[in-house]
Chains A and B, each alone.
Chain A
């Protein structure tokens, strides 16, 4: 794909996104009001994403895995769209995220870590006991190989976390190398 095609796609994506969001609508008010509205929706998005994650964990505890997965995927979709929109404007949210203050990083890690642990624990509990932590939705007899499946799940999760960490380090080193090249 040529750079002109790529720019054209980005421009169209931004135009569609702005139109869907109503950014150029009269209801956005003047520039100060537009800024406040944008901040308000950012705040709502952050809280909404956290709420979706918590809902996902609660659904998992009650054995509603379809809803749990839906909540987590929808939260992820919101973040993905934000990254795509910023990227179309030439802003890398991934690079900016690295500058997040340590306190904010800690809070985010706690929320997502607790949610992930709850969901993961609920899954293993249901695999071993055959019923969810609360209620009896989707209860079955535990499978004969539930223990080995649970161990497999734990190993898979650990491998996933390690892969994400390694990928992050590789990306960071690539960016540092690119920055050095830019300086030269």
Chain B
């Protein structure tokens, strides 16, 4: 298996640029605010589908939001 590690999550910066609060983003993508907080902290790696929904809402890409190290 290739040795790939998750890099710094860039959801927080992208969310602020897009003008969303954590609660608004959570509501848009259908999760709790606590889950958004966990994702922004890097404590929780979302599923592909949730990552795609977040990226679409923030008009970004999964690769930009969740880069590899």
**Chain A residues in the interface with B (C-beta under 8 A):** 29-33
Contact = CB atoms under 8 A, between A and B. Distances in A.
Given A30-B31, A32-B34, A32-B35, 8 more contacts: A30-B35, A30-B50, A31-B35, A31-B47, A31-B50, A32-B32, A32-B38, A32-B46
Contacts of B30: 30
A86 B69 CA distance: 34
A83 to B, nearest CB: 26
A31 B39 CA distance: 12
Closest CB pairs A-B (n = 4): A30-B31, A32-B35, A32-B44, A30-B35
Contacts, number: 22
A33 to B, nearest CB: 6
B36 to A, nearest CB: 10
Nearest to B30: A30
Interface in B31-54: 31-32, 34-35, 38-39, 44, 46-47, 50
**Contact residues of A: prevailing secondary structure:** helix
A30 B46 CA distance: 10
Contacts of B35: 30-33
A32 B51 CA distance: 12
A31 B34 CA distance: 12
A30 B39 CA distance: 13
A32 B50 CA distance: 10
Nearest to A30: B31
B46 to A, nearest CB: 7
22 contacts: A29-B32, A30-B30, A30-B31, A30-B32, A30-B35, A30-B50, A31-B31, A31-B35, A31-B46, A31-B47, A31-B50, A32-B31, A32-B32, A32-B34, A32-B35, A32-B38, A32-B39, A32-B44, A32-B46, A33-B32, A33-B34, A33-B35
A62 B31 CA distance: 51
B35 to A, nearest CB: 4
A30 B53 CA distance: 13
A94 B34 CA distance: 36
B34 to A, nearest CB: 8
Between A29, A31, A32, the greatest number of chain B beta carbons within 10 A of the residue's beta carbon is seen for A32
Interface string B8-31: 000000000000000000000011
B6 to A, nearest CB: 15
